[in-house]
């Protein structure tokens, strides 16, 4: 797998096709796009938003677009903290692509950007995302009730943290 900067002119068709999958949007604020212009503008936003680093995830063997990954750095003096999110095409779920992307991204965040923590959130009922984060080494720090506006429901949102020292230990176990 390769990570490269998002390029709306190259990635839009694949991104649009991926975003047509309704299951991709069950637990996100996103909706199924109306047209390719909508996804093109979204990719431009991801590429151009100040403070956001965005990648396209590419399958090395087939050169297929698998999904996207984003991080945002925040200087919470005295700590540098990153938040993260990703969208992986449904046909690539449970095949190790998210884990492989996380290894590359988290190594970058901790060893090149020198962040001390990565923060992430997931709706508590989004069991697969919660399990995935816990597997990689995130710890649940708190749960809060929050309005999920897409469903017009108050649900529980889990807040997670991955500390650099935990990532170093967990990374070795994952690679074995």
Task: Please report which residue ranges of 36-152 form alpha helices under DSSP H.
Answer: 36-48, 97-111, 127-136
* pLDDT tens readout for residues 88-114: 999 998 888 988 999 999 999 999 999
Q: What is the pLDDT of residues 79-92, one digit of tens each?
A: 888 999 899 999 99
Give residues with Cβ within 8 angstroms of 78, minimum separation 6: none
Peptide bond into 162 cis (omega under 30): no
Rounded distance between C-alpha atoms, residue 154 and residue 108, angstroms: 35
How does pLDDT run across 140-173, given as a tens digit for each residue? 999 999 999 888 999 999 999 999 999 999 998 8
How much is the pLDDT for 139?
A: 97
Question: pLDDT of 10-22, one tens digit each?
Answer: 999 999 999 889 8
DSSP-derived secondary structure for 146-167: EEETTTTEEEEEEEEEEEHHHH
33-87 per-position pLDDT tens digit: 889 999 999 999 999 998 899 999 999 999 999 999 999 988 888 888 899 989 9
Report the predicted TM-score, pTM, of the whole model to 2 decimal places. Answer: 0.88
């Amino acid at each position: 797998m390769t990570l490269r900067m998002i390029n709306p002119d190259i990635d839009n068709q694949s991104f649009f096709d991926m975003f047509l999958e309704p299951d991709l949007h069950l637990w996100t604020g996103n909706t199924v796009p109306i047209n390719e212009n909508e996804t093109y503008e979204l990719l431009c936003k991801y590429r151009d938003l100040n403070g956001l680093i965005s990648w396209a995830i590419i399958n090395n063997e087939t050169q297929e677009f698998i999904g996207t990954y984003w991080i945002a750095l925040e200087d919470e003096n005295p700590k540098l903290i990153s938040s993260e999110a990703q969208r992986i095409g449904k046909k690539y779920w449970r095949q190790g692509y998210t884990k492989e992307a996380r290894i590359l991204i988290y190594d970058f965040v901790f060893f090149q950007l020198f962040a001390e923590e990565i923060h992430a959130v997931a709706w508590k009922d989004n069991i697969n995302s919660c399990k995935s984060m816990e597997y990689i080494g995130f710890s649940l720090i708190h749960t809060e009730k929050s309005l999920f506006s897409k469903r017009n429901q108050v649900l529980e949102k889990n807040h997670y943290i991955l500390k650099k020292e935990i990532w170093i230990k967990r990374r070795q176990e994952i690679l074995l």
